[in-house]
Chains A and B, each alone.
Chain A
């Protein structure tokens, strides 16, 4: 099978991740942050080191800002549910994943918040900033947006948006599901208050892991329960990080995050980006030359795009085309990719797209084989 679905989850597991998970399973099996015995405390100390490593990797100031969750969607829900109420207004982009749109819509439906979309499609970075500046109102409490579209790869100018939020005194949350481990992220320099991460993608950690880094001090928990402190009270004190992490942590998964960060640091993030981008460009150039395919973005050879390429065959809808590719052993995601907002913006709502998302382990030859197959079969 040729696996080109790394934007959903990577299928490559580096030895650093395997070794870290194995170490956790074999030697760190007690529950961290609960008991005081030596076994529990040794796991707790290791988890603390991983919080520190994660904070350093993303330019966060404090290890206690690092909250481990079950996935990026849970991280996003925690931010939106835990910081906004009283009719606060949040601005989101026109290319958000449903991980953002659905909680925002649900909160709006309950009357807790109001949301408005800002346009990114067809605009330059400066035009996006001008547009956001125009629609910010006195009621705007937060801008929450993706760092890069999971469908079309478009990178949003988060550094400039962060600057604008800082100037206006607005909270800034970022969905970095497609960019953590690929693009540089420095929370402090970029004025990001809440960063949501899917470690099973660009950090090569196991699925079922998520990270929320909350630089802002106030955040209510999404899930209530045991925290390992203040147990005599039914009131849950929202102290970060444990106060936002009720329930037993996924210790092997968190060790996997640590191994993944080591891997990315050893490989060098820039090398990973360069490699995956080269493969996307190879396919992009082939599709243009072939003439039977529709593409939706300019040639993604700049920092305005992550290595995710959406396209369609002119004769098929994306689901049909995706099934045909699967029959030939090419694994690509088709349809709306849980991001109808992005498809609405790009005019592909009716047919969806097929998405090519290479990984660090995808070879040049695999991409060439894919191009050859597209040439011969279709």
Chain B
């Protein structure tokens, strides 16, 4: 499994995204403050996720109107 940081910008989108992922079977998911430099978006929030299929996770989030700024 690989670890990804899905940078959502706002914390509301991060929490919403986390809940959607948890409801859809992703278990290793949490909301974290984004370290400056990771996404070049200054301070902010994101979803940390361990998964083998980030493309599916991204699709799931985007289809539920979660704003994704960047995935690193």
**4 closest residue pairs by CB, A with B:** A36-B33, A232-B42, A229-B44, A231-B42
Q: Are A230 and B41 in contact (CB under 8 A)?
A: yes
Q: Are B42 and A33 in contact (CB under 8 A)?
A: no
Interface residues on A, range: 20 to 34
Which B residues contact A (CB, under 8 angstroms)? 9-13, 15-16, 31-33, 36, 40-45, 65, 67
Partner of B67, one of A33, A44, A232, A239: A239
By a CB distance below 8 angstroms, the chain A residues around B67 are 64, 239
- Determine how close the nearest CB of chain B comes to the CB of A315; give it in whole angstroms: 56
By a CB distance below 8 angstroms, the chain A residues around B33 are 35-36
Bits for A22-39, please: 1 = Cβ < 8 Å to B, else 0. Answer: 000000000011011000
Q: Are B16 and A228 in contact (CB under 8 A)?
A: no
By a CB distance below 8 angstroms, the chain B residues around A239 are 9-10, 13, 67
- Determine how close the nearest CB of chain B comes to the CB of A341; give it in whole angstroms: 36
Partner of A237, one of B9, B11, B16, B31: B9
Which A residues contact B (CB, under 8 angstroms)? 32-33, 35-36, 41, 44-45, 48, 51, 62-64, 227-233, 237, 239-243
By a CB distance below 8 angstroms, the chain A residues around B65 are 62, 64
Nearest neighbor of A237 in chain B, beta-carbon distance: B9
Given contacts A35-B33, A64-B16, is CB(A228)–CB(B41) below 8 Å? no
User: In the complex, what distance in Å separates the CA atom of A36 from the CA atom of B36?
Assistant: 13
Nearest neighbor of A226 in chain B, beta-carbon distance: B43
14 A–B contact pairs at CB < 8 A?
A33-B11, A33-B45, A45-B15, A51-B12, A64-B10, A227-B10, A229-B41, A229-B43, A230-B9, A231-B44, A232-B36, A239-B9, A239-B67, A241-B12
